[in-house]
Structure 1
Amino acid sequence: MRYDIAIVGSGPAGLAASINAKIRNKNIIVFGNNNASTKLTKAPSIDNYLGFENLSGVELKDKFMSHIKSMGIEITEKRVNNIYSMGDYFTLISGGDMYEATTVVMATGVEYGKMLKGEEEYLGKGVGYCATCDGALYRNKKVAIIGSNHEGEEDANFLREIASEVYYIPTYKMINKLDDEIKIIEDRPVEIKGDNLANKLVLKNQELEVDGIFIIKDSVSPKYMVPGLEVEGPHIKCDKDMKTSIAGLYVAGDCAGKPYQYLKSAGQGQIAVSSAISYLDKKRIKN
């Protein structure tokens, strides 16, 4: 199935985009999670969202989810690792699954964490962000996974079926759901080293000789997710209509730039979808 619009992100920007796309009878898929966004749910009080007073982040999230549920919108709880422009449509990669959409709205938030020393240098050269995408390259080899969330545990279990040895380095308080043969290392990653390819993970108290390293993050910088996408620092470059440097790809929310406010994000989600619909209409007339 090729969707009209793929929306990547389930915060205020992504959900506002999904509502307006649904009103316009577009065939959509929304990637994210049923908690909307971690940033939203952690907010103790929200006082500047027009029409809602003295709400906590969880209460506002519940209103968002009630709204989309009433409209029959479902969230696909998968992480999109890569988005490729194929000319007339986009291919979205999530683990071992592929999706197609004529347009895309990116509402992925902002990459807050710093990159590990050596991470950018060896990205694609022994360092990756998607174990289910690239795991086959490490059959019968040693791999390390640096996990910042529970999805890292799923990737580690997947790799255990392929690799000869798997090291798991959690950077969060984990609930152990790992295969017994996976070696859990409670230590802080410091640097990635190698020759032509990454082959060593330096931790604070030890070093691991490995053939590959996967870094599982809450969010990945858009310039690594979408080849050819123009960025400005941590933000995706766009115009007032939320158009990016790639035709058919639109942006909304924190990843489009400051200020980081929920109401602004929701408004941008609506603009992004309106622009995507105009793009779809023009393509239909042209064809």
Structure 2
Amino acid sequence: MYDIAIIGAGPAGLSAAINCKIRNKNVVIFGGAIESTDLLKASHMDNYLGFPDSTGIVLQEKFLQHVAKFSIEIKKEKILAIYDYGDQFQLTTKEGEYISRGLIIATGIPKTKTVEGERELLGKGVGYCATCDGPLYKGKIVAIVADTEEGEEECEFLSELCSKVYYIPKYKQEIEFKSDNIEILYEKVERVIGEKKVEALKLETRTLELDGVFFLKKNVPPSQLITDLRIENKFIGVDRNMATNIAGIFAAGDCTGKPFQVAKAVGEGTVAGLSCVSYIDKLKKSN
């Protein structure tokens, strides 16, 4: 078990990690340098204190060197779901499951869109990890909507469990599957249909009756990782301590809103880290 898990390896997440580690907390970061693509694209920066005439690449290298000094673990795994068990959280990735007492979300702004019905039916037939939830659909009909070719492996896995798998790629590439029960459809997804559970998937030219649909995305928005997280104007709602509406979960950086500046992200990461440390200390005393 980790004391604190941090989702995101950009300025906010790295800043939070350092402050947690200095205060003797067992910390893990999920993500990699790729998570800070906006920073890496900055060819010239003149507004970060102490680093005039710098670049995003230089800053990111300095940040990662600082984290490495404290031997903070960075797992290059994508978080697919978070489950709140009161005094601890379970984080699910394709590679496995992890437990932490506190959680800091520093994902930046995930560049992904949802379709109608997707969020409403999350956990009711809509999922983001086929290998995680696949066994629930044994003998049933499912669809996979994939952003990248990584979805092909999960499609093959589901084809061994399900009676029928529709594979809907959002990328242009020639695809071949060995299984006969996989049908590839190059169509735009319009909405997920269902009331209490998924019943069908509406495409441009047809409607597929099915039992479940998996959206395999490059990045999963925080609001879709955990239920009941408060979102305000498309950003995570936090207070002055960077605390969200869920006890034990804090957020920092671009995912909390404007201004989208490195200095703001680093500052919020510091506050989130210190706040999460305080939360963990009180939790341990109460137990």
TM-score by length of 1: 0.85
Matches within 5 A, 1:207-222: 207-222=207-222
Q: Check the 8 A contact 1:221/1:234 in 2, yes or no.
A: no
CA 185–262 in structure 1, closer or farther in 2 if over 3 Å, else same: farther
Residue aligning to 2:7? 8
Determine whether 1:103 maps to 2:117: no
Residue aligning to 1:259? 259
Bigger mean CA deviation after superposition, 198-207 or 17-26: 198-207
SS at 2:273's partner residue?
Answer: helix
Letter in 2 for 1:241: N
Instruction: Give, in whole Å, the separation in 1 of the partners of 2:59 and 2:153.
Output: 30
Matches within 5 A, 1:86-165: 86-95=85-94, 97-165=96-164
SS at 1:100's partner residue?
Answer: strand
Deviations 1:149-171 (A, max 9, x none): 45434433432332233332222
Aligned residues: 285
Q: Which residues of structure 2 form unaligned runs of 5+?
A: none
Matches within 5 A, 1:73-92: 73-92=72-91
SS at 1:60's partner residue?
Answer: helix
Instruction: Give, in whole Å, the separation in 2 of the partners of 1:68 and 1:203.
Output: 46
CA 173–273 in structure 1, closer or farther in 2 if over 3 Å, else same: farther
SS at 1:227's partner residue?
Answer: coil
Deviation at 1:179, TM superposition (A): 4.4
Deviations 1:91-127 (A, max 9, x none): 2222473211111111122344332123234333322
Root-mean-square deviation (CA, aligned residues, Å) is 2.7
Deviation at 1:213, TM superposition (A): 1.0
Instruction: Give, in whole Å, the separation in 2 of the partners of 1:45 and 1:172.
Output: 32
Q: Check the 8 A contact 2:10/2:33 in 1, yes or no.
A: no
Q: Check the 8 A contact 2:115/2:191 in 1, yes or no.
A: yes
Deviation at 1:219, TM superposition (A): 3.3
Identity percentage of aligned residues: 45
Q: Check the 8 A contact 2:89/2:103 in 1, yes or no.
A: yes
Residue aligning to 1:191? 191
Q: Check the 8 A contact 1:8/1:31 in 2, yes or no.
A: yes
Q: Check the 8 A contact 2:91/2:97 in 1, yes or no.
A: yes
